[in-house]
């Protein structure tokens, strides 16, 4: 098995007898024995490796990632190799951040923080979640965790997936759903079909003062279209991801009204490594035992 750094090597141990751990991040000379690698662990937030690097592992059978998103790896996964993501590792923390951002906007916490800085006691009523209609784009681990939390506060939740199924609307149903949605939570994977899904037409269909919370990938949202809606004061947004990313210091999105921005920290909480390497150890054990792996991502993703 090949891991990207010493920290990962320490984290995945103990491994079953017969499993040899090699450390290589794809740069420089490959270590001796790399050609026998059957499992590759991708670095968290490290991007995909080059195809030439993967070619040095002719016996590769599994690529295990620590992130939920895998879009950078899909085009380069060799034929016959399973790609597994980190579903479940970051779901709770990312959903938690989405809910925190939504509640901050609903209860006007940025306003009250500014008032605190000015030492002003400015009592005023705010909105709450009771009766809010929440549309969650993505019915996976992150989306469902965020929905469950918001339902505790008496919000009504509907799901949209890439295809319709029991309890989940299809993307083609969005035109009828958006005008009735007070909050949209973006928890979809980035694919060709979801790239800039939230374009000017999508955003214009939302009611005034609706909130867009993007905890997925920045390019699922058309930044210019969202910026126009924010500048007009019609919509609000919580963004843990942006396009471009990192967001340049001079980008107007920083200064747009009604937006809270965090620098892609949804999954990067203290303790994520513990959850991640527990998953990796379980996957190694399954592989060695000849059992079916979890979190396998299809090529259609």
Catalogue the active-site residues.
264
Residues 67/267, Cβ–Cβ less than 8 Å: yes
Residues 34/52, Cβ–Cβ less than 8 Å: no
Using a 10 angstrom Cβ sphere, with 0-12 exposed, 13-18 middle and 19 or more buried, the burial of residue 287 is buried
- Angle of the 109-117 helix axis to the 91-106 helix axis, nearest 10: 70
Based on DSSP, count helices (H) and strands (E) in the chain, helices before strands: 9, 13
Count of all residues that appear for the chain in the document: 301
Here the tokens at position 264 are 């892609």
Q: CB count, 10 Å around CB of 289? A: 9
Q: CB count, 10 Å around CB of 56? A: 17
Kindly state the DSSP code that residue 78 receives in the 8-state scheme.
P
> Which residue in this structure is represented by tokens 């320490």?
10
Phi-psi label, residue 191: left if phi above 0, alpha if psi -120 to 50, beta otherwise = beta
- The answer to whether the peptide bond before residue 217 is cis (omega within 30 degrees of 0) is no
Using a 10 angstrom Cβ sphere, with 0-12 exposed, 13-18 middle and 19 or more buried, the burial of residue 186 is buried
**What SS3 state is found at 41?**
strand
């Amino acid at each position: 098995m090949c891991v990207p750094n010493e920290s990962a090597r320490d984290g995945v141990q103990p491994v079953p007898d017969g499993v040899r751990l090699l450390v290589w991040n794809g740069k420089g000379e490959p270590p001796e024995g790399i050609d026998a690698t059957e499992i590759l662990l991708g670095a968290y937030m490290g991007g995909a490796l080059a195809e030439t690097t993967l070619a040095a592992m002719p016996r590769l059978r599994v690529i295990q990632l620590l992130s939920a998103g895998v879009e950078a790896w899909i085009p380069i996964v060799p034929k016959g190799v399973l790609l597994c993501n980190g579903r479940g590792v970051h779901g709770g923390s990312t959903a938690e951040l989405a809910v925190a951002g939504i509640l901050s906007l609903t209860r006007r916490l940025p306003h009250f923080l500014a008032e605190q800085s000015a030492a002003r006691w400015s009592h005023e009523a705010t909105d709450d979640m009771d009766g809010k209609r929440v549309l969650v784009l993505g019915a996976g681990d992150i989306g469902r965790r965020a929905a469950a939390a918001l339902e505790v506060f008496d919000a009504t939740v509907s799901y949209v997936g890439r295809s319709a199924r029991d309890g989940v609307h299809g993307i083609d149903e969005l035109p009828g759903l958006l005008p009735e949605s007070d909050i949209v939570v973006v928890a979809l994977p980035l694919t060709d079909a979801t790239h800039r899904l939230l374009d000017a037409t999508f955003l214009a269909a939302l009611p005034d003062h609706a909130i867009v919370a993007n905890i997925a990938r920045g390019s699922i949202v058309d930044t210019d279209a969202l910026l126009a809606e924010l500048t007009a004061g019609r919509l609000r947004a919580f963004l843990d991801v942006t396009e471009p990313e990192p967001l340049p210091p001079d980008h107007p999105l920083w200064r747009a009204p009604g937006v809270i921005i965090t620098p892609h920290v949804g999954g990067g909480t203290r303790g994520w490594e513990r959850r991640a390497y527990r998953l990796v150890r379980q996957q190694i054990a399954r592989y060695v035992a000849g059992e079916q792996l979890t979190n396998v991502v299809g090529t259609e993703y």
